[in-house]
Amino acid sequence: MTKILRFLDIFFAATGLMIGLPLLLILTIIGYWDTGSPLFLQERVGYRGQPFVLVKFRTMKLDTAWVASHLADSSSITKFGLFLRRTKLDELPQLWNVLKGDMSLVGPRPCLFTQHELIKERSERGVYNVRPGITGLAQINDIDMSTPQLLAETDQKMLSAMAVPTYFRYLVLTVMGRGSGDRVRQ
């Protein structure tokens, strides 16, 4: 099953990057005008607890502290960044992470190495035995990293029931707009 899901990841990520190239270029140019640095690169906890560099479109001002989204202040989000977050287009560059093998389309959202409680909860539940994902059960149910135990339990539940139909279900629900993305403190 793992090989089938990895094949689907590669197929959809490559297809998405090829088809989405014009949109990626447009968003990059607008992002450059918005902040001067359209891409956001950040080290995250990946497969088997190993670090990898997550790529996203920048949605916050350059001087924003590097903290989990739920700890960031909403005044840090640019107007263009708000649009990217609401449409989930800020996640589009992560297709590169999927293609490289750092991530899957479906899996637990990768956290920061400073989120010790979440790392502990996920480690106890074997969540790091899979690649982190762009979307999953927690994301479509608006569960974010501000509730580490609930998030880890939800990740574990998703992984125990993962199959090709559930993979597609999470993707379709995400594309249809289910879930609100990363929350930011108001």
User: Quick one: pLDDT at residue 64?
Assistant: 72
Structural domain of residue 128, as residue ranges? 2-175
Average pLDDT over residues 1-14: 95
93 found inside a domain: yes
Query: For the chain, what is the domain count?
Result: 1
What's the whole-model pTM score?
0.88
d(CA 162, CA 110): 18
94-to-14, 54, 103 alpha-carbon distances in Å:
11, 7, 8
pLDDT score of 70: 56
- Is 66 among the domain residues? yes
In a domain? residue 182: no
Cβ(42)–Cβ(59) below 8 Å: no
**Each residue of 138-151: pLDDT tens digit?**
999 999 888 999 99
Average pLDDT, the chain: 91
Q: Tens digits of per-residue pLDDT, 30-56?
A: 999 999 999 999 999 999 999 999 999
Residue 181, in any domain of the structure: no
Only one residue has tokens 């480690």, namely: 123
Residue 92 per-residue DSSP state: T
**pLDDT(69) > 90:** no
Residue 4 has pLDDT above 50, yes or no: yes
Mean pLDDT of 18-34: 97
Residue 185 pLDDT more than 60? no
pLDDT digits (tens, 9 = 90+) for 108-133: 999 999 999 999 999 999 999 999 99
Q: Is 12 exposed, middle or buried (0-12, 13-18, 19+ CB in 10 A)?
A: middle
Is 186 a member of any domain?
A: no
**Does residue 148 sit within a domain?**
yes
Do the domain assignments include residue 14?
yes
Identify whether 183 is part of a domain: no
> Average of pLDDT values for 163-179?
91
Q: Which comes out higher in pLDDT, residue 85 or 70? A: 85
